[in-house]
Amino acid sequence: MNNNITLKVNNNFCKEIISIPGGENILKCFTCGTCTISCPIFEVNPDYNPRKIIRMALLGMREELLSSNTIWLCVNCYTCYERCPQNVKFTAVINALRNIAVKEKKNIKAPAYALGDGFLKSIKLHGRVWEPEIMLRLWLKLFDIKRIFSFIPLGIKMFIKGKIPFFPSRIKNKEIKKLFKEAKNIKMENK
C-alpha cells in the first residue's frame, strides 16, 4: 500500500468561499455530521457527503471540489441549512462553490448544471419552459446521442397523449427580458 499521498492544498480557497455571500459561516463547521445525516441525497447516494464537502473546502482542496460532479448533486432542499447547530448554511456554501466553478468553467458538463443551463435558455428564448428543448440541450451538452434516440418512442407517446407540445408556446413578457437584462448587468458589475 502506498502511503505517499500528494495533496494540492490551496489555503486561499477558504477565504474565497468566505468572500461570497452565504459562505461566510463555513469556518463555524465542527463536522458534527448533522448535514450529512439529514441530506436526502445522502440517503440515495452515500458518496454524496456534505460534511466531506465542507472538510475538503476547509482543507483547500479547490481543484478536487470544483472539478467533481459532487457540488452539482445538492437539490437545495435546505434541510441541512435548517438543522445545522452552527448555522453554517451548507446550501449557500454549495451555491458559492457552484458560482466559482461556473466562473472558471470547471465541470460545466455536469448533468445538474447542464439541466439548469437548458432551463434558463428555454425561458430566455420562449418566455417559459419547453421540456423537449431542455432535454435535447441536456443530452447534447453531455454528448449522449444514444440516449437521445432511446427516448424518442417515449416522446412520441407523450406527444400523442398531449403531455408535451410539439412546438413551444411563446409568451412576450417584458418582465422576463428585464430580469435577464438585470442579471447580466449584475454579472458585469461583479467582474
Q: How confident is the model at residue 187 (pLDDT cuts 50, 70, 90)?
A: low
pTM of the model: 0.66
In sequence order, what are the residues at sequence separation of 6 or more whose Cβ sits closer than 8 angstroms to the Cβ of residue 121? 133, 137
| Cβ atoms within 10 Å of 130's Cβ, excluding its own | 20
Q: Residue 32's closest CA among 54, 7, 9?
A: 54
Specify the residue for cell string 441525497.
41
For domain 12-103, give the fold: Fumarate Reductase Iron-sulfur Protein; Chain B, domain 2 (1.10.1060)
| pLDDT tens column, 109-159 | 677 777 777 888 888 888 888 888 887 777 777 666 777 777 778 878 888
| pLDDT tens column, 52-103 | 999 999 998 999 898 888 888 898 899 998 999 999 999 999 988 988 888 8
Q: How confident is the model at residue 190 (pLDDT cuts 50, 70, 90)?
A: low
CA torsion through residues 95, 74, 116, 66, sign: positive
Percent of the chain with pLDDT over 70: 86
* Every domain of the chain and the residues it spans: 12-103, 111-190
